[in-house]
Amino acid sequence: MSALALALRDASQIVARVAAGTSLAAEFERLAEHEAETSRAALIDLTHGTLRRYGRVQAIVRQLSRRGHSDAPVEALLWCALYALESGRYADYTVVDQAVRACGALERWSAKGYVNAVLRGFLRERGSLEARIGAEPEARHQHPQWWIELLRAAYPAQYAAVLDAGNAHPPMCLRVNTRRVGVADYQRRLGAAGIPARELGEAALLLERPVPVERLPGFDRGDVSVQDFGAQRAARCLELAAGQRVLDACAAPGGKSGHILERVQVELTALDADPARCVRLERNLARLGLAARVANADCTRLEEWWDGVPFDRVLADVPCSASGIVRRHPDIKWLRRAGDIAAFAARQGAILDALWQVLRPDGKLLYATCSVFPQENDAVIDAFIARRGAQAVRVPLTDGAAAQELPGADRDGFYYALIHKQA
């Protein structure tokens, strides 16, 4: 069986499980434990591409199918094949032929004629289909209706651009470890390796196109890390100084912890509630040649990890909807539910209340999310400050940028708020 038929088979099985509620990350973690017949690159392309266009490919199948819902693997196979047809990477006849063959690999032999008919119908009716599905917001914007409505309410003039960004391929930004190498020097090393990049600011270099980390000069030695430019704001906005006692409360996988330690010599405690992610955090710090006290703990359970000595700075990079980085995790927009946003906001408020207790008077707490929903951002901060009264004062971010940055060509969507604890 050809590589494309196998890739369609495996991708459709993954996408079907995601549609049933499993995360894409969990699927690829499971895949890494087994020897696969399909290349990882092909699977990433088919699964991520299909899920970015999930609303669209679902609408196309609804328009063309006379069966209603077929069984999950066949439905997912059609979604993946439609993405493959629209990607332009393969000849049309090849995709149709290999999707039919993939039916056999899925042991859905009776579905061969159905899959063939739907895909050929798409090729035949492509022009008229656009007008029909264009009237469906989920198909046009490729996000759930509730997500579209939240963004339209928050950003009437920008919501369509935010949705478009969520469907795009993400940029690849590097953070140069300036303790080891200068930004200009590292940019020259990239150029010598055939990797064009431009400087974004301070330690950031934006690659012209993504490359495997194995190609990055000095990656294994800790000369550079992969970190979105928006995420690099955290360490800059914390107002760090040498010798401070600093807490990164939801630290894994360690990108922001590493950046903090690269910028200033501080005494850092890094927490995460997931033991497997703590291992990854320690591994990332070791690669950079940096050290912190890493603890596997829920930051809200102070009795489990806090020694009673207050912190000068606290970074609360809280769990959130991840709506600002959805192009990196395209399954998120389909796995989330509208009710999740209020649940996240409640958890975020509880984290702030707990961490405020470990911050010393005159210290500062930086609240961070990778969300673009105001319900997780300004609303959470406004409610927290109202609970704390005059003790909590929101202060301007030192980099001069807006608290909410929306996803764009060179960065993901992040939100930051700096709160000063009055002495």
**Residue 293 CA from chain centroid, whole number:** 26
Enumerate long-range contacts of 289-294, CB under 8 Å, 24 or more apart: 289/180, 289/222, 290/222, 290/257, 290/258, 290/261, 290/262, 291/261, 292/248, 292/257, 292/261, 292/268, 293/268, 293/269, 294/251, 294/270
User: Across-strand partners of 198?
Assistant: 206
**φ/ψ of residue 25, rounded to 5:** -60, -40
Contacts of 44 (CB under 8 A, 6+ apart): 28
Q: How far apart are CA 101 and CA 95, in angstroms?
A: 10
Active-site annotation holder among 103, 173, 237, 370: 370
- Tokens representing 16 are 């079907």
Contact 299, 271 (CB under 8 A): yes
Annotation says 370 is catalytic: yes
Q: Which positions are catalytic? A: 370
